[in-house]
């Protein structure tokens, strides 16, 4: 409809200019080398510090990839048009899955450093833990991790490769096939990612349990995924990439998603806190006892006011969701808050006395995230950066919020 | 104004969204400000073309939510710790931990009320009739016709002149409608 509004809009190239791509690659490779040298030096200096620091970084990256996969599948299931111009980038983030399987190796290797339950002696003598041994034992932990990564990588690969095949074939059947596998995919991802949160983070404190913990982690991961996607697009825009294809209308919608997930995360976080506070059972309150004492209480406060309240106010107005400068700030803010959130989940198990930031936290973060960034950057070169064969692309490009 | 008191405006009937949009822009360029479009589906860009301002509904909703939040805090604090203080399962007389669900629900409830009733109020609803129904071809606006009405309340409005002007924009049918 009303085509004449758009015919004068210049078309974007759906390829990244080689010089820009090479510049980006050189920066990422340099950071990658720096990060891994620092992380490995850290490991050899103090492996007690290395494993928790690494787990925080790994879980941060995994949450984003899972968020990308879930959102891509939601787009297929709902037949969404607005998100089609962004979908290739989501797929490229989602394809972190096989790399994450490799990045999981240090966690698997550090099992005994990280997880109290991995020591059979403790499991036998502690009455509560003895009952959990059928689930919490190294063999089951490794098997489950393999199953998670097989599911995640397979779904990510199918959706991504069908989308790329459609670039040239324009085959409508690929759209229907993507829709079909997204339905079981949603169920499997939700279940497996919940269990992965339980395995990798919740079991750090093996006496404690919370049935909503998986959803809490998924909400945060998806939130960070939107922040990183929006931030990437804004950086692209600053370099003239997709500057006409991804308009303020698309940014507005991503702002709505970030806002919705800000509230969703808070809803889940509060539900977990309130039920534990009200029941007041020692088995359950242990999680919040350590996080409400000493300097950890300050971190809890930062999450309440920074993760939720401030982000809520930043994104509440329509005008701020349509202001790209506000969005750029908010995306960086969200990524910082999500890191603090993951840190707050993991670290109190290792430094109960209080917050103890370490340079290895930064080193591991840089190592893990630059590895994922490298994979993302390579995939930008191997296919157009927009799903050019998607039947809804034209509609998605012209999308406007009414 | 007085001589037009029984006239609602002049309606111009177009056959496509594009001609309607062009007509809206031309009418704005001519200096008309009080106009309304009637179309079978939303048309992108027509709000900007008509110079429609962002609705104040959001602020009404914000007032509703602030009222809900305040009410919930005061209600729970006053009933629990002033009017009828009673310790239940060793919990404080008032705490945000247990008060928050009610705070959330009342905030949402009054926001929703403010949104629905505010929208009705801003739209002048409910009302039994609207002058646009005096136009003989009004049914087309929910099928395949695109109507533009320049209203008599416009400072530049003059039934004959406005009608002549709209005739130059490609309207297929023109009619002065009674208020």
**A184 CA to centre of own chain:** 20
- A5 contacts on B by Cβ (under 8 Å): 44-45
One domain for residues B8 and B95: no
CB contact under 8 A, A5 and B101: no
Structure confidence at residue A8 (pLDDT): 55
B88 touches chain A (CB under 8 A): no
Give the domain-ending residue among B122, B149, B164. Answer: B122
Residues A2, B97: C-beta atoms closer than 8 Å:
no
**Cα A66 to Cα A60: distance, rounded to the nearest angstrom:** 10
Same domain? For B167 and B147 the reply is: yes
Same domain, B115 and B62: yes
Residues 6+ apart with CB under 8 A from A243: A12, A236, A237
Q: Residues B49, B62: one domain?
A: no
- Put simply, the answer to whether A400 touches B91 (Cβ < 8 Å) is no
Distance CA(A187)–CA(A191), nearest Å, equals 6
For the segment B1-29, the average pLDDT, to the nearest whole number, is 86
Domain boundary among B122, B152, B167: B122
**Predicted local confidence at residue A3, as pLDDT:** 45
- Is the Cβ pair B45, A277 closer than 8 Å? no
Same domain for B133 and B48 = yes
Q: Which of A372, A366, A251, A261 is nearest to A318 (CA)?
A: A251
Is residue B51 located within the same domain as residue B133? yes
- Which chain A residues touch B45 with a CB distance below 8 Å? 2, 5, 400
Query: Same domain, yes or no, for B98 and B109?
Result: yes
Residue of chain B nearest A249, judged by CA positions:
B44
B16 and B33 together in one domain: yes
Question: Which of B62, B97, B105 is most worth mutating to test chain A (most A CB atoms within 10 A of its CB)?
Answer: B97
CATH number of the domain residue B168 falls in: 3.30.70
| Cis preceding linkage at B143, omega within 30 | no
Q: Do A274 and B101 touch (CB under 8 A)?
A: yes
Distance CA A82, CA A87 (A): 10
Same domain as B135, residue B113: no
Tens of pLDDT, residue by residue, chain A (402 residues): 444 444 456 688 899 999 999 999 999 999 999 999 999 999 999 999 999 999 999 999 999 999 999 999 999 999 999 999 999 999 999 999 999 999 999 999 999 999 999 998 888 888 889 999 999 999 999 999 999 999 999 999 999 999 999 999 999 999 999 999 999 999 999 999 999 999 999 999 999 999 999 999 999 999 999 999 999 999 999 999 999 999 999 999 999 999 999 999 999 999 999 999 999 999 899 999 999 999 999 999 999 999 999 999 999 998 999 999 999 999 999 999 999 999 999 999 999 889 999 999 999 999 999 999 999 999 999 999 999 999 999 999 988 886
Residue pairs between chains A and B whose CB atoms are closer than 8 Å? 32
Quick check: A53 and A363 in contact, CB under 8 A?
A: yes
The answer to whether the complex's ipTM is over 0.90 is no
Of B45, B97, B101, the CB nearest to A277: B97
Option in B43, B90, B100 nearest A2 (CB): B43
Q: In what order do the strands lie in the sheet with B35-38?
A: B35-38, B146-151, B7-14, B173-178
Contacting A residues, span 259-278, partner chain B, CB-CB under 8 Å: 270, 273-274, 277-278
Inform me whether the C-beta atom of residue A281 falls under 8 Å from chain B C-beta atoms. Answer: no
Q: What is the DSSP letter of A305?
A: I
Overall domain count for chain B: 2
Give B5's pLDDT tier (boundaries 50, 70, 90): low
Question: Are the beta carbons of B18 and A273 separated by less than 8 Å?
Answer: no
Which pTM was predicted? 0.90
Judged by CB atoms closer than 8 Å, whether chains meet at A402 and B97 is answered as no
Asked whether residue B64 falls in the same domain as residue B25, the answer is: no
* Structural domain boundaries, residue B117: 57-122
Q: Determine how β-strand B7-14 pairs with β-strand B173-178.
A: antiparallel
Distance from CA of B104 to the nearest CA of A (A): 10
Cβ–Cβ below 8 Å for A402 and B42 = yes
CA-CA distance, A370 to A389, in Å (whole number)?
30
Put simply, the answer to whether A278 touches B98 (Cβ < 8 Å) is yes
H helices of B2-95, in order, are: 17-30, 46-50, 57-78
- B18 in contact with A at a CB cutoff of 8 Å? yes
In chain A, residues with a C-beta closer than 8 Å to the C-beta of B69 are none
Beta-carbon separation of B44 and A318 below 8 A: no
Query: Does A2 lie at the interface with B, CB-CB under 8 angstroms?
Result: yes
A125, with CB counted inside 10 A (0-12, 13-18, 19+), is: exposed
CA distance A11 to chain B (A): 20
B45 touches A2 (CB < 8 A): yes
Q: Does B96 touch chain A (CB under 8 A)?
A: no
* B97 at A interface, C-beta within 8 A: yes
CB contact at 8 A, A208 and A287:
yes
Query: How many angstroms separate the CA atoms of B42 and A399, rounded?
Result: 13
B6 and B47 together in one domain: yes
A400·B44 Cβ contact <8 A: yes
**Which of A1, A270, A274 is facing B44, going by the closest CB pair?**
A1
CB atoms within 10 A of CB B101: 13
CA nearest A290: which of A212, A346, A216, A218? Answer: A346
Tell me: the pLDDT tens digits for B23-65? 999 999 999 999 999 999 999 889 889 988 888 999 999 999 9
Q: Please give the angle made by the CA atoms of B138, B140 and B141, to the nearest 5 degrees.
A: 75
Per the listing, tokens 């809206």 go with B24
The answer, for B45 touching chain A at a CB cutoff of 8 Å, is yes
Query: Taking a C-beta distance cutoff of 8 angstroms, is the pair B101, A274 a contact?
Result: yes
Q: Is B136 helix (H, G, I), strand (E, B) or coil?
A: coil
Give the chain B residue whose CA is nearest to the CA of A400.
B44
- Choose the closest CB to A2 out of B18, B90, B97: B18
Give the end of a domain, one of B99, B122, B145: B122
* Cβ within 8 Å, pair A274-B45: no
On whether both B112 and B66 belong to a single domain, the answer is yes
């Amino acid at each position: 409809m009303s085509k004449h509004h758009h015919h004068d809009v210049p078309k974007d190239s759906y390829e990244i200019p080689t010089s820009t791509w090479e510049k980006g690659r050189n920066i990422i490779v340099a950071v990658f080398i720096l990060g891994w040298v620092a992380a490995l030096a850290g490991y050899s200096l103090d492996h007690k510090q290395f494993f928790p620091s690494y787990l925080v970084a790994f879980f941060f990256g995994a949450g984003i990839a899972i968020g990308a996969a879930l959102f891509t599948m939601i787009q297929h299931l709902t037949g969404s048009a607005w998100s089609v111009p962004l979908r290739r980038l989501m797929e490229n983030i989602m394809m972190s899955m096989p790399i994450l399987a490799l990045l999981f190796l240090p966690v698997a290797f550090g099992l005994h450093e990280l997880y109290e339950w991995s020591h059979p002696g403790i499991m036998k003598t502690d009455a509560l833990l003895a009952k959990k041994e059928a689930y919490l034992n190294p063999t089951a932990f490794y098997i489950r991790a393999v199953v998670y990564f097989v599911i995640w990588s397979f779904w990510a690969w199918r959706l991504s490769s069908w989308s790329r095949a459609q670039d040239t074939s324009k085959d409508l059947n690929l759209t229907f096939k993507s829709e079909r596998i997204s339905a079981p995919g949603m169920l499997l991802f939700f279940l497996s990612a919940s269990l992965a949160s339980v395995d990798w983070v919740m079991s750090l404190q093996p006496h404690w349990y919370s049935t909503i913990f998986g959803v809490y982690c998924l909400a945060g991961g998806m939130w960070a995924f939107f922040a990183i996607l929006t931030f990437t697009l804004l950086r692209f825009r600053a370099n003239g990439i997709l500057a006409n294809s991804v308009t303020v209308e698309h940014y507005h919608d991503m702002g709505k998603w970030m806002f919705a997930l800000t509230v969703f995360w808070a809803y889940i976080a509060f539900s977990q806190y309130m039920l534990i506070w009200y029941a007041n059972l020692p088995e359950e309150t242990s999680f919040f006892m350590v996080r409400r004492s000493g300097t950890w209480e300050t971190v809890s406060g930062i999450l309440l006011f920074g993760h939720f309240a401030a982000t809520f106010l930043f994104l509440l107005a329509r005008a701020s969701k349509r202001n790209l400068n506000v969005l750029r700030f908010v995306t960086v803010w969200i990524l910082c808050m999500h890191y603090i959130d993951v840190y707050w989940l993991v670290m109190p198990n290792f430094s109960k006395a209080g917050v103890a930031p370490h340079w290895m936290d930064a080193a591991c973060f840089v190592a893990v995230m630059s590895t994922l960034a490298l994979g993302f950057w390579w995939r930008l070169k191997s296919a157009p950066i927009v799903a050019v064969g998607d039947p809804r692309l034209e509609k998605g490009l012209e999308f406007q919020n009414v | 104004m007085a001589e037009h008191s029984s006239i609602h405006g002049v309606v111009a009937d177009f056959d496509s969204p594009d001609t309607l949009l062009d007509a809206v822009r031309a009418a704005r360029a001519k200096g008309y400000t009080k106009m309304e479009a009637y179309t079978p589906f939303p048309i992108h860009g027509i709000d900007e073309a008509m110079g429609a301002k962002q609705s104040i509904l959001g602020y009404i909703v914000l007032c509703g939510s602030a009222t809900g939040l305040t009410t919930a805090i005061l209600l729970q604090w006053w009933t629990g710790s002033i009017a009828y203080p009673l310790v239940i399962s060793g919990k404080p007389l008032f705490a945000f931990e247990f008060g928050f669900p009610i705070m959330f629900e009342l905030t949402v409830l009054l926001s929703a009320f403010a949104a629905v009733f505010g929208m009705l109020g801003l739209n002048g609803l409910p009302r039994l009739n609207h002058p646009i129904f005096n136009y003989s071809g009004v049914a087309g606006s929910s099928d395949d016709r695109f109507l533009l009405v320049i209203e008599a309340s416009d400072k530049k409005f003059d039934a004959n002149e406005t009608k002549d002007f709209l005739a130059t924009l490609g309207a297929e049918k023109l009619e002065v409608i009674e208020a």
